[in-house]
Amino acid sequence: MRSSLSRVALLYRLLRPLFFLLDAELAHSLVAAFLWLWARVWPRPRRRALLAQKLWGLDFPTPVGLAAGMDKGQILAPAWFRLGFGFVEIGTITPRPQPGNPKPRLFRLREQGALVNRMGFNNDGAERTAARLRRLPRQPGPILINIGRNKETPNERAADDYLTAFRALAPLADGVVINVSSPNTPGLRDLQADIGSLVKAIVAARTGQMPVLVKLSPDEDRPEEIAEAAVAAGADGIVATNTTIDPAGRETGGLSGAPLKEKALRACARIYRQVGRRVPIIGVGGIASAEDAYARIRAGASLVEIYTALVYQGPRAARDISEGLARLLARDGLSLGEAVGRDA
């Protein structure tokens, strides 16, 4: 198992300079195709009892997941799980297909270990994504679907978009994430001001106990108040956080990676202190190592997600973080559940 993935990681390191000469979005597409092919032969990773947990009635083999934005509906889940991810968040998916913002719209800030994206929810729409999900065999970890509104839909009718996407995709997902925090859809973040109404509409439309989560912005002055409103309305969890606005203004869009880490960490801790004993939190933003993941867990996250780290570190990123996290927990004599919120 290790030798197979190590060979892939070595190949990625050899090819990475070439990928980084290409447009970032083109390189992303090429790597996705590469992973899809290799997923057919990779063995599944070994399950580690120390990292496994059950949340929302779902089994997570490791707390390290893939953040939304990497798989925008191509449904490459078999590849992601073979890379060692414990769960996958697909999307953002809108009710109707949309091309997203004009290219170029994805940029590397290599000296900072960061990315700036202004993708604009480019995706094939809820129905085509649902058709792909129907063909997907059962996977070893949960699949969450991140949903949003179409760009041309005014906020006054945003709930209709979310409900349309939810009804098409929820029966095929293990959980749904309501995205009201991308900086790349005009006015989207304004929906956080009345998040309770949107959450109530989604929760009323679901059948069964499938979890509904809300993804929040790191740029709010009091993210814990938005989280409280979402949970009071019936949300089962919070994703903290989305990308931030680049303070240097080098490119318009959402900044991810190392510059986001401290802001996302602080938001996670504040949200945990407010709602963390009632609902789980997924921590995301600037996580690039086992130490980063452990700090986010100790700040209140039950699960963590990575995106930018996968771009810079390659195919071993998720597995290396999981293995290091297991060592850190063992060093401190803690279970995963005991570590959650310890420093919040």
The DSSP annotation for 183-209 comes to TTSTTGGGGGGGHHHHHHHHHHH--TT
**Nearest-angstrom CA–CA distance, 132 and 310:** 24
**pLDDT reported for residue 262:** 97
Cis status, amide bond into 62, omega within 30 of 0: no
CB atoms within 10 A of CB 186: 10
Query: Residue 311 corresponds to which amino acid?
Result: V
**Nearest-angstrom CA–CA distance, 137 and 325:** 29
CB atoms within 10 A of CB 260: 25
Q: Kindly give the parts of the chain with pLDDT less than 50.
A: 1
**Nearest-angstrom CA–CA distance, 320 and 289:** 8
**pLDDT reported for residue 249:** 63
**pLDDT reported for residue 136:** 94
**pLDDT reported for residue 27:** 79
C-alpha 114, offset from chain centre: 16
* Fold designation for 2-339: TIM Barrel (3.20.20)
Q: Which residue has the tokens 């799980």?
A: 81
CA dihedral 25, 31, 37, 39 (to 10 degrees): -110
- Average per-residue pLDDT in the chain? 92
**pLDDT reported for residue 38:** 67
**Nearest-angstrom CA–CA distance, 37 and 35:** 5
**pLDDT reported for residue 236:** 99
3-state SS, residue 143: strand
**pLDDT reported for residue 1:** 46
**pLDDT reported for residue 28:** 74
Give the residue numbers marked as catalytic.
182
**Nearest-angstrom CA–CA distance, 181 and 185:** 9
Total residue length of the chain: 344
Query: Residue 112 corresponds to which amino acid?
Result: Q
Q: Which residue has the tokens 């409103």?
A: 229
Query: Residue 218 corresponds to which amino acid?
Result: P
**Nearest-angstrom CA–CA distance, 242 and 221:** 14
**Nearest-angstrom CA–CA distance, 327 and 344:** 21
